[in-house]
Structures are given as structure tokens and as C-alpha cells.
Amino acid sequence: MTAFYLVIGASHRTCSGSLRDWLATEEAEVPDMLAHLKAAGFEQAVWLSTCDRVEVHAVHPRPLEGALDAAAVMAERLGIAADDLADQLYTYVGDRAVRHVFSVACSLDSQIVGEPAILGQIKAAHRHAAGAGMTGPELEALLQAAYAAAKRVRSDTPIAEGATSIIAAAVQVARDIHGDLGRCAGLLMGLGDMGVLVLEGLKEAGLGRVTIAAHVDRRAEAMARRQGGHFAPWMELDTALAGADIVVTATGLGRYILSRDAVKAALKARRYRPVFVVDAAIPADVDPTVAKLDGAFTYDLADLERVALEGRAGRDAAVRAAWAIVDEAVAAFARERAERAAVPAVAALRAHFEQERRRLLVEHAGLNAAAATRLLVNRLLHHPSEVLRAMAAGTDGGGLPEHAAAERLLFRLFRLDEDAKNETERTESIETGDKRS
């Protein structure tokens, strides 16, 4: 049975940050989600859960049915009807699914193009799927090709430099404002991928204490453990804000979660010591009027990119080059799949020819080479000749177009045009030689 590639998911492009927060899974929960997919009929599937997306990458013989089943698993996690979730999900099948997986692995579908975290997240999801026995040759081929494309994008284009430079810019601005980061406390509000990357960059630069808060407390607690930081309940943000020298927001909820009044109160509690605010969310998390407060230094990702990059032209060229690599890799993957799909037919044809050859040797052991090869050719061509005649006459349910297509295929497979041309050239050569003599 033909297997189709399938992607179904929700990302920062299609659904709210709050829905992604509830749909997202921590690493310890992934085996359970894979078990649900297996129970729904999936044999090859990866459950990819990041702060910016939750997706199922799968192979399925009936992709539309598989998409409904995957949506049902996601809806069950949220405790809602699948129909209520449908308009926030996207589904890709076949080549579109392949191109999407490649674009995600190459960080072309991320909020910040080129961010480095996603490839490691896909590989972790892949390991979980393999551990659950939910990988197979088709899914393995897809993921390995996606990794190869991502490696080419990172080695052949400067696309990764943008995200790295944004993080470096955040570190530089933080040092300009606060000096020694070891004496500073940081607060991460929300768990968007770019926000986590900024936080990790600040930690590597020496940031002292880290506190993490998110709308879903269990996810914030898990992230705090991974980052070696503290957890703050979302309902206690006022206290956490007052103690933060650097605030990174990364919810992308589509509304302002950091208001002017909240920052004003925090500055007062801090005795107006400055606070550096990084809005790492798309859409923005921070009320623009916060920037007007004395002591509040607010930067969004575009501001940091302007600090990091001389201009957009080089960045846009890198993105175009990366997409060109992805499209080339998708086309090559499709060709390789088509070539692999032809192998069983070629093997079957070869086995059939060999079977007829052996049968003839047994039944007509005494024939000389000329007679044996003539008989073998007649046997091999008998059934195809009958089928072609039936197609030409329309007695097999086909007709002339089908017959013409089959005829063209035969000429191509066995180079009959080339043989006819060579025979004509030989005949002309002989005739020319006779005339000369």
C-alpha cells in the first residue's frame, strides 16, 4: 500500500500562544502522546512539541483519515472537540509535507529565521519516536534528508548568523545598561523559543539568578528545572518583576502582557534602578508606552536585529539562498523516492525473465543457441503482444490513447527508436559499400 507523508499541526502562524501552551508537551509526556498516536492507527510518527509549534510528522496510507485522527489526539489533550480545534490546525500531504518538514528543520518556518534550537528539538522528537518503535524506512528517509538539508543551509548560507547576532546584541545592550551581568537577576515571561534562546545567551554571558513564569505553571516549572532557575507562578508576577534587572517576554498571546502600569510599579519598588526589557514575542508582548518610562529600556527583536546587522539586504539574500537549497533538496528527495519505488517492478521483471529462461532450458535441453534464444524471445513477448493488440482494439476496456502511451513507453524502455535508427544507418552503410564495389 502506498504511504503518504503527512504533517498536521499548530504554530505561531495559525493559533494563539495560550492554545500552544496548553497543547505543548514536556519531554516526559512525549511517549504518552506517541502511544495515543499508535492507538489511533499511526505506525510511523514523530510528535514535535516546541514553544512555537506542536506538529505530527507522519507516514500514513490514508492521509486525510490520518489527519483527522491526529487532530482528535490533539483535541483530546486539550479536552475539546476536534471540530473546535480544526480551524487552528494546518495539514500538509505529500510533497507539501516534505517541504514543510525541511523548512522547519532548516529554521525557515521559525519566528526568527535561522534560530538554532529547532534542529535539536526535531532530533530529540525523532529519538523518542524511535524509542517507541514508531519510525520506519519512509520516516527515517524523510528525517535524514531534512537533517542533510539543514546542514547545507547552515554551512552554505549565513542564515544562522542573524539569530546568533540578535542574542549577542541582547547581551551587549544588557551589559551597556547593567555592567556585570553576574549581579543581575533575569525574568523570562513565557516560553517562546526565541525568548528561551535570549535567556540562554544571557546565562552564558554570566547572568546571575533566573526566574521563569508562564501561563501554564507546569511548563514554567519544567523549564526552570532545565535552566537551573527559579519558578514564579503567573499570578505572582508583580513580585517577580520588582526583582528583575532584565525581563524577557516570549508569550506571543496577541495581547500585551507587560503593561505600563506594571513596569511603573516595578520601577518604584526597585527604587528606579533601570530594567532592560526584551520583547522576544511575535506579536508583541510589551505595551509600547513602557518605553516612555524613565529607567525602562525596551527592545524588540527588530531593534536587536538593527543593532546586530548592518542591513536587511544580506539577510534577505541568505533566506532566498536557504529556500533554494530546500527546494533543491525536496526535488532530490522526490527523485530518490521515485527511483526506490521502481525497484520492485524491475526486480519482478528480472525474476520473470529468469524463470522463463530456466523453464526453457529444462523443457528444451537439446536446442541449439539460435533456436533456444528464438523460443525465449517468443515466450517473453507473447503476453505483452496480446495485451498491446487488445489495447489497440479497445477490447480490454482501454483504447487508443492508452495504447499510444504504452507504445511510447515501450519505445523508451527498450530504446526501439535508437535500434531502428542504428539499423537504418547499418543498411545505408551496406548499400553505400555495395554501390562502391
CA atoms within 13 A on the CB side of 7: 22
| Interatomic CA distance for residues 408 and 208, integer angstroms | 73
Q: CA nearest 215: which of 188, 245, 246?
A: 188
Given 3-state DSSP classes, what are the helix, strand and coil percentages for the chain, each rounded to the nearest 5?
65, 10, 25
| Interatomic CA distance for residues 341 and 318, integer angstroms | 35
SS3 375: helix
Quickly tell me which residue has 515466450 as its cell.
379
Q: Give the other-Cβ count within 10 Å of 133's Cβ.
A: 11
Task: Evaluate whether 60 touches 68 at the Cβ level (below 8 Å).
Answer: no
Task: Evaluate whether 160 touches 114 at the Cβ level (below 8 Å).
Answer: yes
Helix (H) or strand (E) holding 131: helix 117-131
Given the residues 15, 51, 106, 184, select the one marked as catalytic.
51
Burial of 119 (0-12, 13-18, 19+ CB in 10 A): buried
- What's the chain's length in residues? 437
Task: Evaluate whether 70 touches 91 at the Cβ level (below 8 Å).
Answer: no
| Interatomic CA distance for residues 180 and 169, integer angstroms | 16
Residue 197 in grid coordinates: 534562546
Quickly tell me which residue has 503593561 as its cell.
259
Q: Give the other-Cβ count within 10 Å of 137's Cβ.
A: 11
Task: Evaluate whether 268 touches 299 at the Cβ level (below 8 Å).
Answer: no
- Which residues in 184-287 belong to E strands, given as ranges? 185-189, 209-213, 230-231, 246-249, 275-279
Tell me how many degrees the CA angle 183-185-189 measures, rounded to the nearest 5. 160
Quickly tell me which residue has 517473453 as its cell.
380
Active site residue 51: yes
- What are the residue numbers of the active site? 51
